[in-house]
């Protein structure tokens, strides 16, 4: 069996309500530097079809082999529209519950892991970063 090589063409699309996507994107850049191949979309103030079209446009123009669409919460309009936008496309995963540690790992590890390993890692990282800080 041939092991899949790390992908140098994985893009990220953050889709959230309000200005959260842009702020997460900016904060990630403050920590790790300029993020090429990562995009932020606000699902607010746009019709569902416009959000879907924006996601598809980014994917089409990026011509990336793989993409991860990060959404704020499962079952919300951003999640539903993201799933609708990528339905039937190969090499694209939608992850709900986006958080900063997940995005930092996406930015720093996407070129060193194969796509499925990276997706699995991002899910673990997101879950592991939620902790009760009890003192």
Please tell me the predicted confidence (pLDDT) of residue 1: 45
Residue 5 three-state SS: coil
Residue 110: DSSP 8-state:
T
* pLDDT, position 5: 46
The model's pTM is 0.92
Whole-number average pLDDT of the chain: 93
**What element of type H or E holds 59?**
helix 48-62
Question: What is the SS3 assignment for 89?
Answer: coil
Over the stretch 2-23, which tens digit does the pLDDT of each residue have?
A: 444 445 589 999 999 999 999 9
| C-alpha span between 93 and 83 (Å, rounded) | 9
Q: How far is CA 97 from CA 18, 49, 87, 104, 125, in A?
A: 15, 22, 19, 14, 11
Local confidence band at 45 (pLDDT 50, 70, 90 cut-offs)? confident
Mean pLDDT of 62-84: 95
Which residue ranges form the domains of the chain, and what is each CATH number? 10-126 (3.40.50.510)
């Amino acid at each position: 069996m041939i092991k899949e090589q790390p992908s140098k063409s994985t893009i990220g699309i953050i889709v959230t309500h309000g200005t959260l996507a842009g702020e997460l994107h900016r904060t990630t850049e403050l920590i790790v530097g300029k993020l090429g191949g990562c995009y932020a979309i606000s699902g607010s103030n746009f019709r569902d079809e416009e959000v879907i079209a924006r996601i598809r446009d980014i994917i089409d123009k990026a011509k990336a082999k793989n993409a991860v669409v990060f959404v704020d919460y499962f079952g919300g309009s951003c999640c539903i529209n993201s799933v609708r936008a990528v339905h039937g496309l190969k090499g694209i995963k939608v992850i709900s519950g986006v958080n900063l540690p997940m995005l930092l790992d996406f930015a720093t590890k996407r070129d060193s892991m194969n796509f499925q390993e990276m997706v699995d890692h991002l899910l673990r990282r997101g879950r592991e970063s939620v902790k009760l800080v009890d003192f």
